[in-house]
Amino acid sequence: MQFIKMHGIGNDYVYVNGFVESVTDPVTLAPVIADRHTGVGGDGLILLLPAEEGVDAHVRMRMFNADGSESEMCGNGIRCVCKLAHDHGVCDANPMKIQTGNGVLSLEYTVDANDKLDQVCVNMGKPILEPVKVPVAIDVPHPIVNYDLSQHLNWAKTTAGDAWIEHSGTQMRMTCVSMGNPHVTLYANDVSKIPLEAVGPLLEKHPLFPARINVHFVQVHSDDQVTMRTWERGSGITLACGTGASAVCVSGVLTGNSGSKILAHLPGGDLTLQWAGEDSPVFMTGPATEVFTGDWPG
């Protein structure tokens, strides 16, 4: 089976072109092929497939985390799916409509001098804010914005204790957004001082989040620039998360921490996000990179 290794600002996946290859059991394959020691290595497995019958889309994307669980969407991954479809001759539509677990999304892109896809602007769709739809197990009729999280947590369960909260200047107030997959955002003065490897799993699997959740800590530099660190549901610490950056943009507007257009600095690179508020979609712009291709014998 031929695979393609790709990444969107360091958020790397193993991709398979389902127009020419067949993957019968992606849930089992994902943890094996994504293993960074004994496999190809990546944050998971993503398949480029034909759109389902009756769906108005050019192609379909399915994504599986490194633990084999299937997720609805990946903002960095969908840019790479667009590049894979374009650069490998599957589809040259621009904008390209891609079916995901979060519906059909539209992507506009630019190409370089070699007619290879360069930058992609993704219409990420409208954010979902109703607690029951995120989902968050808090029975309130309004969005979860600046909600006091400290009452729900027992930091003694982690090896990090709770001294890091003061040390990093973390505000224990969460904002929850779904971009087709669930996200929680917290703000800090210095995200580099957060023990993400200990805090991330506790939040991801907390009973407040019945579908688990992607965790983001955000440091605000100005109205239009932030730095974020991510613990991704099912994958752990990742260099980037496109749906997460979109959720951070929405959270910034809702909390007043940042403006409607931001440059988000992630460990793997930068993304530009824009959300006009209310009933508007989020737009995300960033690169997609092909690293290498290979043959998987398994």
For 147-279, which CATH superfamily applies?
A: Diaminopimelate Epimerase; Chain A, domain 1 (3.10.310.10)
Alpha helices in 88-195 (DSSP H): 163-168
pLDDT tens for each residue of 57-116? 999 999 999 999 999 999 999 999 999 999 999 999 999 999 999 999 999 999 999 999
Report the percent of the chain where pLDDT is more than 90. Answer: 95
Q: Where are the domains of the chain?
A: 2-123+286-295, 147-279
The CATH number given to 2-123+286-295 is 3.10.310.10
Tell me what pLDDT residue 162 has.
Answer: 87
For the stretch 108-111, contacts whose Cβ atoms lie closer than 8 Å and that sit 24 or more positions apart, written own/partner, are 109/82, 109/83, 111/86
pLDDT of residue 156: 66
Output the pTM of the full model.
0.90
Closest CA to 246 of 269, 272, 270: 272
User: Same topology for domains 2-123+286-295 and 147-279, yes or no?
Assistant: yes
User: Annotated active-site positions, please?
Assistant: 74, 241
| Dist. CA 42–CA 284, nearest whole Å | 22
Closest CA to 105 of 69, 139, 56: 56
